[in-house]
Amino acid sequence: MSTSERMISGKEVAKHNSRESCWIIVHGKVYDVTDFLDDHPGGSKIILKYAGKDATEEYDPIHPPDAITTHLKPEQQLGSVDLNTVEKVEVTISDAEKARQERLNQRPSLDEILNLHDFETIAKLVLTEKAWAYYSSAADDEITNRENHAAYHRIWFRPRILRDVTAVDYSTTILGCPSSMPVYISATALGKLGHPDGELNLTRAAAKHGVIQMIPTLASYGFDEIRDAAAPGQNQFLQLYVNKDKAITKRIVQHAEERGIKGLFITVDAPQLGRREKDMRQKFDAEDPDNVSSSGQSGNVDRSQGAARAISSFIDPGLNWNDLKWFQSITKMPIILKGVQCYEDALEAYDQGCQGVVLSNHGGRQLEFARSGIEVLVEVVTKFKELRDITFPNEKFQLFVDGGVRRATDVLKAVALGATAVGVGRPFIYAFSSYGYEGVSKALQILKDEFEMNMRLLGARNLKEVVPEMVDAHNIHQHVVAVPGDRLYDSNYESMQTARLKEVKAKL
């Protein structure tokens, strides 16, 4: 990981500007990426554009801080450069980029943002295509991705009336840490893709609103930068992709504990990162067509994997239950398995001494046709009662769900069914992508407003009063697919029409 301290001039770097010898500058360091060109998951073209030049601005938002040092051998890390000697890269702004910048200027006032959906609408308009593809994409046909949201529509409320709801309190405690609401900011990667302040937007808004941020392994900012951005006493969790190199993992975990992290969420649903075809397709759309062989044959390297897989080759597919004891031996932080998808594994986690599980399918980005977390929650709660006589919510073994949440009503359904709290990811990304820190702050405020109102309407004064009887979830396990339509019949059927204005009729 160490880099040579040789000092190199910008002039010298500038000579290595070809496929034959390709050096680039990132954050003031010089790297020889000649041999890496064909292995770059994002293709060689984008690197060659910066051959002999400073690639920092391009590099930054789409790579975790240590990506380049991880992929290059020590001898390819040539030394430092005096940035004053480096010629600026002339940036030409494409028409598409100009249009995007114009849309940024046209963002509506934050006052007009009424719900979390609105952030997504604006983010889709103001994000770069690359960022939108990375953030929004999911596995295969993205059915699980959408099911995550749809599953909440199978749960309906049974509200109670005539309770004095003058004061409602939706605060709670998560793994011993107070939270202003039963929501935490889930870990999501590559925050700089959406905003220069990336994950720090989340840290600051979490502080303001008293919620807990889960710091991602694949953040655009380094762990310490994010931890440093926390307010005094602000609690954070850590999401961990387990590195094949145990030593690295140990160092990360123990460092996190030292820095006061309050919970270790080990991702267990991603031995390999999913194929996210929107992300992959975006890459091809951005690719130079000249670079493609006329035979229709692919080159010798499969570059069709999108951003997600490009940054995740270090993840250990061999991670297994035996490793859990090792984790327990190196840290006293509560250990939560993130990505549990059936009751059997939740039981195992409980039996092996975990402090909780996140029932999650990774935002629909991993296994297509994995069930939604909220559906698995119902199964888990039922089976824990049946097999261990345990009820939820439960201080000692906490259940979390994530995926598809857009409204406080979604969260309240999960709470009624036994969840301690719910993780929300993409909506907060979309919030900072469109409005930075203030966007995230507004998103959290919207949730608070929704909690206040909906708890009143439910007849619950605090989260303890949000009980199973308040929801009807008996349809949760129904995976209904309509019989394909009879297109001939449908095309013949002429729709009913309502009354028409006279002038309209006159024109018919």
Binding string, residues 330-369; x marks residues near a copy of itself by CB under 8 A = -------x-xxxx-xx--x-----------------xxxx
Binding to a copy of itself in span 213-232, by CB under 8 A: none
Structure tokens at 250: 């140990």
Distance of CA 168 to the CA centre of its chain: 31
CB neighbour list of residue 119: distance below 8 Å, 6 or more residues apart = 113, 427, 430, 431, 433, 434, 435, 439, 443
Q: Which of 40, 45, 124, 255 binds a copy of itself (CB under 8 A)?
A: 124
494 forms part of the interface with a copy of itself (CB under 8 A): yes
Give whichever of 51 and 374 is closer to a copy of itself, judged by the CB atom: 374
Min dist. Cβ of residue 124 to a copy of itself (A): 7
Q: Which of 88, 90, 94, 289 binds a copy of itself (CB under 8 A)?
A: 289
**127 phi and psi angles, rounded to 5 deg:** -75, 155
Binding to a copy of itself in span 251-280, by CB under 8 A: 268-272, 274-275, 277-278, 280
Residue 110's nearest CA partner among 487, 476, 431 is: 431
Give whichever of 212 and 455 is closer to a copy of itself, judged by the CB atom: 455
Binding to a copy of itself in span 155-194, by CB under 8 A: 155-166
| Per-residue DSSP letter, 17 | B
Distance of CA 423 to the CA centre of its chain: 10
Residues taking part in catalysis = 241, 269, 362
151 forms part of the interface with a copy of itself (CB under 8 A): yes
Cα 27 to Cα 42: distance, rounded to the nearest angstrom? 19
Please answer whether residues 241 and 224 qualify as being in contact, where contact means their C-beta atoms are separated by less than 8 angstroms.
Answer: no
Q: Interacting stretch for a copy of itself, rule CB under 8 A, among 170-178, 203-211, 326-334, 483-491?
A: 483-491
Q: Which of 48, 215, 311, 370 binds a copy of itself (CB under 8 A)?
A: 370
Binding to a copy of itself in span 102-121, by CB under 8 A: 103, 106-115, 117-118, 120-121
Cα 120 to Cα 443: distance, rounded to the nearest angstrom? 11
Give whichever of 190 and 357 is closer to a copy of itself, judged by the CB atom: 357
Give whichever of 148 and 234 is closer to a copy of itself, judged by the CB atom: 148
Binding string, residues 372-411; x marks residues near a copy of itself by CB under 8 A = ----------------------------------xx-x--
Binding string, residues 43-82; x marks residues near a copy of itself by CB under 8 A = ----------------------------------------
In DSSP notation, 176-235 reads TEEESSSEEE---S-GGGT-TTTHHHHHHHHHHHT-EEEEPTT-SS-HHHHHHTSPTT--
Q: Which of 89, 125, 330, 467 binds a copy of itself (CB under 8 A)?
A: 125
54-92 burial: b if 16+ Cβ within 10 Å, else e: bbbebbbbbbbbebbbebbeeebbbebbeeeebeebeee
Binding string, residues 439-458; x marks residues near a copy of itself by CB under 8 A = ---x------xx-xxx-xxx
Residue 87's nearest CA partner among 21, 17, 5, 6 is: 17
